[in-house]
Structure 1
Amino acid sequence: MGKSALIVIDMINTYDHPDADLLVPSVRKALPHVVRLLERARTVGVPVIFVNDNYGQWRSHHGELVETALAGPRAELVRPVRPDDESLFVIKARHSIFYETPLSYLLDQLGADHVVLTGQVTEQCVLYSALDAHIRHLRVTIPQDAVAHIHEELAAAALLMMERNMGATITTAEAAQF
């Protein structure tokens, strides 16, 4: 059995998009669970990989994305989960954390065959990323209290699809195994 990696999806966010008002309440609810997952992973030496949209800013680097989000009106949602000096960072342009990114290569270099996906949005980026992880023969865990959604009913359906169709382990942040 290989290693695990904790992947934090799109939590470095300015929340300056059309459905932010629908998303923010769910982020507030998930945030303490994401923070605990980060703390646990860092304590036991599990690699933490932030995979984040670049929001079309092709000249941006991860530090600039973090700085912009921390300077924005929702900095309180970013500050508790900002990457530390040991965190790895991958920029993505579309929904899946794997699409046109070096993530597969990075996971292979780390010897990781299991990903714990946390972040946002359950019914979009988390769902598509779980599918792409599944087709790459990675084991997938989704702590349902540590993912945020825009539409609760779609998030519930997405979690069910990830469990049934992709064999993902749906659990809580506290019970998630690395």
Structure 2
Amino acid sequence: MTAKDQTLHYLGTAPNGWAVNETVADITRSPLPPQIITLPTASKTLRLDLAKTALLVIDMQNDFCHPDGWLAHIGVDITPARAPISPLQTLLPKLRSHHVPILWVNWGNRPDLLNVGAATRHVYNPTGVGVGLGDPLPMNQARVLESGSWAAAVVDELTIEPGDICVDKYRMSGFWDTPLQSILQNLGRTTLLFAGVNLDQCVLVTLQDASFLNYDCILLADCAATTSPDFCRESTLYNVNQCFGFVADSPALLAAMGDRP
């Protein structure tokens, strides 16, 4: 009779995995080593744990941020949408070095648009004859915000590294009809940093939903932008600070991590 293997084998993703063998299941879920930092924000000084933190980069895609993309095609000045590129180029490597997950939450529709309702499609093609979701861009025939297309790809200036996580969304909120909530729960991340475009639309709505789901929300103001009028940005910053979380910036975060921009 052979002795049973008593080695424990890890299943799942830290800190929410189990250690198991033939006779034992260790479900204690040991926490990750804490990385406590102190971050000044517009309202309060925060103490937070980087081991419980993730960054959501929302919609930094060609359709929103590239001169050949969809917004530019319909006459929108995309210059403001490109403003987060530079601070993110500095911030992302530093966060990765502290093992903070980077989640790219991007609009990436099914080719058949079967899970996108008419009301959502109307927002982006109100006459029904324009270039809307899934339609080819005249410049290069890339299909607007279709998963896998050039139009939906992250701009070349920002690099998705192998350890990053990509989540397709199909409307303004990154939480509805997506695996984002499950991923964050498996990662044990309860503090969320927010970046991307448009600040007053997809970034704000995703942050609001995160707040309603009891995540701690921190908007990085210099890493988020909008092509909307200035009053939309001001209103968003006010409401995030007043109702949904905290407003900080990437230089303060870098300094709190012991780095400098």
Provide the TM-score with structure 2 as the length reference.
0.58
What secondary structure sits across from 1:144 in the alignment? Answer: strand
Matched residue type, 1:44:
H
Deviation at 1:153, TM superposition (A): 1.3
Name the counterpart of 2:16.
none
Could you say what secondary structure the match of 1:105 adopts?
helix
Residue of 92, 107, 115 corresponding to 1:38? 92
Identify the residue that residue 70 of structure 2 maps to in structure 1.
17
* Structure 1 residue 173 corresponds to structure 2 residue 250: yes
Give yes or no for the alignment of 1:142 onto 2:219.
yes
CA deviation digits over 1:133-164, x for unaligned, max 9?
10111011111111010122101101111110
Classify 1:23/1:117 alpha carbon distance in 2 versus 1 (closer, same or farther; 3 Å): farther
Q: CA deviation at 1:6?
A: 0.7
In structure 2, the partner of 1:74 is none
Amino acid at match of 2:233: A
CA contact (8 A) 2:89 2:158 kept: yes
Distance in 1, matches of 2:175 and 2:226, equals 20
Q: What whole-Å deviation, never above 9, does each CA across 1:111-135 have from its counterpart, x for those lacking one?
A: 0001101011001001101110101
AA paired with 2:243?
Answer: N
Letter in 1 for 2:63: T
Pairwise CA distance, 1:21: 5.0
More helix by share: 1
* Rg larger for: 2
Identity of aligned residues (%): 24
**How far apart are the structure 1 equivalents of 2:95 and 2:157?**
15
Q: Which has the higher contact order (CA 8 A, sep 6+)?
A: 1
1:1-178 aligned within 5 A: 3-15=52-64, 16-18=69-71, 22=76, 24-55=78-109, 57=111, 61=147, 64-65=148-149, 68-69=150-151, 78-151=155-228, 152-166=230-244, 168-176=245-253
**Shift of residue 37, structure 1, vs aligned partner:** 2.1
Describe the shift of the 1:170–1:23 C-alpha distance in structure 2 as closer, same or farther (beyond 3 A): farther
After superposition, the Cα gap between the structure-2 partners of 1:170 and 1:136, relative to the gap in structure 1 and judged at 3 Å, is: same
The one-character-per-residue Cα deviations of 1:92-116 (angstroms, maximum 9, x if unpaired) are: 0000111111111100000000110
Unaligned regions of 5+ residues in structure 2, if any? Answer: 1-48, 114-145
Gaps of 5+ in 1: 72-76
1:141 & 1:58 partners in 2: Cα distance?
35
Taking the aligned partners of 2:241 and 2:218, their CA distance within structure 1 comes to 9
Deviation at 1:56, TM superposition (A): 5.2
Number of residue pairs matched by the alignment: 168
What is the CA deviation profile of residues 54-74 of structure 1, one whole-angstrom value per residue up to 9, with x for unaligned ones?
A: 15535965xx34xx1499xxx
Q: Which amino acid aligns with 2:70?
A: H
Q: Contact 1:6 / 1:118 at 8 angstroms: preserved in 2?
A: yes
